[in-house]
Amino acid sequence: MKLHACAFLLAIFSCNAGATGFAPCNDAATHPALAGSLCAIERVPADPSAVTGASGDVALFVRQFPAPGESRGRVWLVAGGPGESGAAFYGLLPRLREAFPGFDLMLPDHRGTGFSTRMCPQEEAPASPGGTALDGAEWATCFAYLNAHPVHARRFSQTNAARDLQGLLARTPRAGKTYVYGVSYGTQLVLRTLALGVPAVDGVILDSLVPLQDDAQADLSQRSLVTDAVGRRILARCDASPVCSNALGEPAEQLYRRVLARADQDPQLLATVPGKNARRFFGSLIDIPGAAGQIPYLIKELDAGGATRMQAVTAQVSKAMAAFGDFPQLPSSMPLVTMISGAENNLQPGRSAQSVRDEEATLLFASPVPGYLVDPPVPLYPHDALFARLPAHLPPTLVLQGEDDAKTPIDAALRHIAALRTVGPVQLYTAPRVGHFVLWGDQGCALAAVRAFVLGKEAGRCVSVRSGD
């Protein structure tokens, strides 16, 4: 597997580079977003707990975007998922530059993602039929490989990924300030890294903070209930708005229930709905910037048999997702998604598929995630000593949280923040009517909040930042 990793990484830069010795990336001219980027590979033990060298090693790919002009320091950007690589940030570079002015941006690919060593070395190779994503027969052969090699699969655990990040932070020379930014699952990975103990970090930004791992009200098995609660809030907001309520002509929930009942009798009613599943489609719109407010009007259009607004919103979603780009290492690693989700964030491991279907039938909004947790096709691993553990000490921290987040709900985030404040100072920026991934979706003051935090300045009147309640 070591040779295989070098084979595809050689297309980017020499495998001899280390994370402390960045070199120009050979793919920097393939996309405007990559211009001027530097690349490095750090080789780390596949199993840090094993006897030195006994488990082989994995390659960690890191891309750096140097600051224009003199650098203030470095910001490590930790992607979410699980399963997302640093490429999830490439298309958002202008926004990140605005949030972190004058900082070098460091984008590591977690083990198992992007151009780092993958769980399925053949099926997830960039040169494979599906590229870094699984395609066709690759699904079966990949999962068969992992089940035949469970020790290999479990080396891609969250704690091992945290040790990787810990090592990168320790071995990269400090110059100026060092900040760590994580989004979604990345917030959990950052906090686990801090629980291991890390070299001096000047501050942490947690965007869309995940629930505490032992929060049974908001683990991944509860995702449909979380989504439903936010969706109902959006419908209630329509009822409170004269413009929206007049357009619907009746309470939004009453209208939606009628549409769902009609669709049970005539599935053709949902012909214009992507996936033909209104609960899941509308649930997915909640976290798309600008799309959540369209949900009541889309329901009204379905009831009337129209399709014009649905086509416009679907195009809007495609445009929003296109902002992330089409980089070859962008697709999430589904083997890693499945393993980390099942091992770390599912508090109902024995749940049945029928139970999930029965629950979804009672809801107005739903997520496919609970169904993905049933009978995972990969070998999981037991909780280790770091499961649900808080860091012993938390550096100054800023949490960005959307009020309408249907993935990492704000009520669970507030419970997590209360716990974190027992080990360090935590500020909270709440983004009104914003869903998941605040730096992506917020058009308000989130950028100003982050910029003030990393520059050590007052947030200003525009920014709703609370140090404690």
What is the tens place of the pLDDT at every residue in 60-89? 999 999 999 999 999 999 999 999 999 999
Tokens of 38: 């530097």
**How much is the average pLDDT of 157-179?**
94
Report pTM. 0.93
Comparing C-alpha atoms, which of 111, 150, 127, 154 is closest to residue 333? 111
Task: Tell me the C-alpha distance between 149 and 153, whole Å.
Answer: 6
Mean pLDDT of all residues in the chain? 92
Q: What digits encode the pLDDT tens for the residues 19-46? A: 458 999 999 999 999 999 999 999 999 9
Sorted by where each begins, the domain ranges of the chain are: 2-127+156-217+388-466, 222-387
Contact criterion met (CB below 8 Å) for 195 and 166: no
User: Could you tell me what percent of the chain has a pLDDT over 90?
Assistant: 88
**How much is the average pLDDT of 161-167?**
96
Question: Which residues are bridge partners to 42 per DSSP?
Answer: 60
**How much is the average pLDDT of 257-273?**
96
Residue 168 half-sphere exposure toward CB, CA atoms < 13 A: 36
* 205 pLDDT above the threshold of 80: yes
Number of helices (H) and strands (E), helices first, in the chain? 18, 10
**pLDDT confidence band for 55 (50 / 70 / 90):** low
Task: Give residue for tokens 């699984």.
Answer: 134
Q: Considering the domain 2-127+156-217+388-466 in this protein, what is its CATH number?
A: 3.40.50.1820
Task: Tell me the C-alpha distance between 205 and 62, whole Å.
Answer: 20
Min mean pLDDT across 50-59, 119-128, 318-327, 442-451 is at 50-59
Q: Which amino acid is at 267?
A: P
**How much is the average pLDDT of 406-430?**
97
Tokens of 340: 């980390």
* 254 pLDDT above the threshold of 50: yes
